């Protein structure tokens, strides 16, 4: 049974069949993180939605420590390789690939593409969302994004949807509820809320607004969800 563990912001660990991947491991400097990067268990892969500091986070040091594969949009993957990540797997939006841990597909996210700490804009790229299939279940991590019509392409194809509700940089609650209506996942898990004052949001208000559209699992940092 696949298991998701929330470590705050957009960081989730997904475990299944003895493999473990992490999305957007922003732990160092994250006031809501429940765990230090050094305390994460063995990782097989690190999936990055974009290069902003609150997503790229500890990715490169973790990749070095665990010899984990970094999966990212092409330009961001090259950047991570240049920073010394031992194994990078560049992909791009619309493409899918079978990894030992499962299938990964990159999907559209509407957001900024700057890579933190890189000033020449050489690695600036499109951010992405991920649809990851493990154990026959599909997890959609939207990344940082606005509500997009493209989400409708995933209607009925998602078991668990991880989506931002914090507003300001991404969807807020109102648009996140519409995103759930577009995708119709079995379960929605809110993310990208409460890390900083500007993205304070009430996940229970989101849950209430989603109503019968989907089940909502509100995870606090450190909590897990089996599906």
Output the smallest distance, CB 55 to Ni ion, in A: 6
Measured at the alpha carbon of residue 73, what is the angle toward residues 124 and 147, in degrees to the nearest 5?
85
Distance CA 131, CA 37 (A): 24
- Shorter beta-carbon distance to Mn ion: residue 58 or 144: 144
Cα atoms found within 13 Å of the Cα of residue 35, Cβ hemisphere only = 18
Output the smallest distance, CB 14 to Mn ion, in A: 19
The verdict on 52 binding Ni ion (CB under 5 A) reads yes
Choose which of 15, 44, 75, 144 interacts with Mn ion (CB under 5 A).
144
DSSP annotation string for 62-104: HHHHHTPEEEEEHHHHHHHHHTT-S-EEEE-TT-EEEETTEEE
Binding partner of residue 15 among Mn ion, Ni ion, none, CB cut-off 5 to 8 Å per kind: none
Binding partner of residue 175 among Mn ion, Ni ion, none, CB cut-off 5 to 8 Å per kind: none
Choose which of 54, 75, 167, 175 interacts with Mn ion (CB under 5 A).
54
The verdict on 58 binding Mn ion (CB under 5 A) reads no
Tokens 């996940």 belong to which residue? 203
Choose which of 15, 24, 58, 144 interacts with Ni ion (CB under 5 A).
144
DSSP annotation string for 177-195: HHHHHHH--SEEEEES-SS
Residue ranges in contact with Mn ion by CB under 5 A: 54, 144
- Chain residues binding Ni ion by CB under 5 A are 52, 144
């Amino acid at each position: 049974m696949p298991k998701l563990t929330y470590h705050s912001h957009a960081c989730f660990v997904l475990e299944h069949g003895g493999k473990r991947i992490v999305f957007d491991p922003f732990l160092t400097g994250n006031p809501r993180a429940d765990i230090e990067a050094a305390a994460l268990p063995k990782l097989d892969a690190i999936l990055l939605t974009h290069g902003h500091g609150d997503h790229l986070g500890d990715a490169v040091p973790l990749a070095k420590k665990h010899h984990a594969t970094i999966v990212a949009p092409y330009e961001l993957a090259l950047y991570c390789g240049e920073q010394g990540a031992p194994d990078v797997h560049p992909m791009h939006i619309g493409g899918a690939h079978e990894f030992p841990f499962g299938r990964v597909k990159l999907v559209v996210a509407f957001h900024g593409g700057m890579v933190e700490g890189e000033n020449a804009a050489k690695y600036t790229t499109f951010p992405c969302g991920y649809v990851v299939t493990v154990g026959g279940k599909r997890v959609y991590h939207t990344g940082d994004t606005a509500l997009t019509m493209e989400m409708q392409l995933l209607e009925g194809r998602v078991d668990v949807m991880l989506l931002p509700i914090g507003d300001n940089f991404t969807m807020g609650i109102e648009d996140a509820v519409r995103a759930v209506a577009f995708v119709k996942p079995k379960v929605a898990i809110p993310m990208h809320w409460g890390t900083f004052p500007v993205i304070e949001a009430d996940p229970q208000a989101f849950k209430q607004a989603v109503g019968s559209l989907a089940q909502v699992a509100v995870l606090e940092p450190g909590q897990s969800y089996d599906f």
